[in-house]
Chain A
């Protein structure tokens, strides 16, 4: 006979539990492993480059340089400045891009008027925006912010327009037949239908915008991650330059794997069950 203590019945709060959903820890382990794998690959490639190339500073040198930057107060100050510009430009791009994207999705006229322009925007390399804004605005805060905005905008527009066109009309008819209210339709039909594409829009916009930011700061700024990279480049100090490239990449990987990945999985859970 086995005698086991009966655990107290769990008290239920919040919405009803769904047993098949993976636990919170498992939901976090997945991305963590993915992050680990991508970091390991990066380090491996780096080590190969150190061994094969003759002017590639080692990881240890680079990290040393990074901590020196931190000690002198140059690390977090520049990261913060860049983040400010990045978030400002990106938020404006998301707001404007969503509005224009919805318009393109709903109106044939807007679609015809804007499609070629957005295609050109998608195809244009970020360096074009960086150089243009430097010429337009000189060394002010507008140069990086406008570059971020322009680099992100077409990605937001295209993906949101695609999402709006993909809202299933037969589900809208269900709602009408049953007399479901407009707000409920927005919440339960339109929003989930566009959610997946919205994450895709944000993801591409972030990558493109972050590239743009680095270049804009490289050419037209006296602060920020891009400027600091150039500082070391001009000083012909490869370990300093690489230290900042590391910061640049770490930011992209972190945002993608730790923030956007789980958000996307959560929003599109119904697809993969």
Chain B
């Protein structure tokens, strides 16, 4: 069983003049097992930074981050905000590129491409796909390494409302079929409610503002009244936080 353990995580950026900006200020977060956790928070609250540190792309200033799967290091899959495919490789080759385990990768790739509805486009280059199709390749790529831990950074935010709704449904279906430990960053509260078991709200300044458990049956439909009620409630709380963040920004002259 996989787990993410984050304790006392601090991240500072230093500009050229040597000034320090604290982006994450003592994050404690523990995610265990097949849990879908969303990270929401106003823009600039450090969501991407947190995900980058967890994935090992970025270093941190203090604290501990550990990713485990049983008694070994966990394998990570990452879906970025943009597709980030190798433009000079076909869809199949893009999936092949990230595989550790060469055994049976072709079947795995085909399986996840089928799940996102692109099973017939493995020979295409990214330039031959629409933006939504490219993003789906990015999702299939992350799932195809059969990661213990799946990280996703606003994977649908660049897409139109209809495509992102379809992809959300795809994502929930794939996740139900092959459950992973997921950290999903979004600034869309309704999306978070629809997908998550738990919602972690980051506040400006980079600390955890609150944690909301979502205990609704799956698969969830956006039109389900129970979903809608919870969405409205979380949204109301989130708006208070965002208003406070805006006020704080206004007080501090740039």
Contacts and interface: CB of A to CB of B under 8 A. Distances in A.
A174 interface: yes
Given A184-B97, A188-B89, A174 B80 contact: yes
Contacts of A180: 97-98
A184 B102 CA distance: 13
A270 B55 contact: no
The A contact surface, by secondary structure, is: helix
Given A184-B97, A271-B127, A177 B56 contact: yes
Given A173-B57, A270-B127, A178 B98 contact: yes
A178 B77 contact: yes
User: What is the predominant secondary structure among interface residues of chain B facing chain A?
Assistant: loop
Contacts of A192: 86, 88-89
Contacts of B76: 177-179
A265 to B, nearest CB: 13
A217 to B, nearest CB: 40
Interface residues of B, number: 27
B246 to A, nearest CB: 30
Contacts of B75: 179
Place the interface of chain A in its size category.
20 to 34
Contacts of A189: 86
Interface in B122-143: 123-128
Most B-side CB within 10 Å, residue of A173, A177, A180, A192:
A177
Contact of B84 (A170, A179, A184, A273): A170
A154 to B, nearest CB: 27
Most buried by B among A184, A193, A270: A270
Interface string A154-191: 00000000000000001101111111100010001100
Contacts of B90: 18
A177 B89 contact: no
B89 A179 contact: no
Contact of B78 (A19, A171, A178, A188): A178
A188 B123 contact: no
Nearest to A268: B88
A170 B88 CA distance: 15
The listed residue with most A CB atoms (<10 A of its CB), out of B75, B93, B97, B125, is B97
A173 B56 CA distance: 10
B87 interface: yes
A18 B123 contact: yes
Contacts of A193: 88
Interface string B64-92: 00000000000111101010101111100
A189 B77 CA distance: 18
Interface in A207-234: none
B86 A179 contact: no
B145 interface: yes
Nearest to A172: B57
Nearest to B123: A18
B16 interface: no
A188 B125 contact: no
Given A192-B88, A195-B88, A271-B88, 20 more contacts: A20-B123, A170-B80, A170-B82, A173-B57, A173-B84, A174-B78, A174-B80, A175-B97, A177-B55, A178-B76, A178-B78, A179-B100, A184-B97, A188-B93, A192-B89, A270-B88, A271-B87, A273-B124, A273-B127, A273-B128
11 contacts: A16-B123, A170-B84, A177-B76, A177-B78, A180-B97, A188-B89, A192-B89, A195-B88, A270-B88, A270-B125, A273-B125
Interface of B: 55-57, 75-78, 80, 82, 84, 86-90, 93, 97-98, 100, 123-128, 145, 151
Interface of A: 16, 18-20, 170-171, 173-180, 184, 188-189, 192-193, 195, 270-271, 273
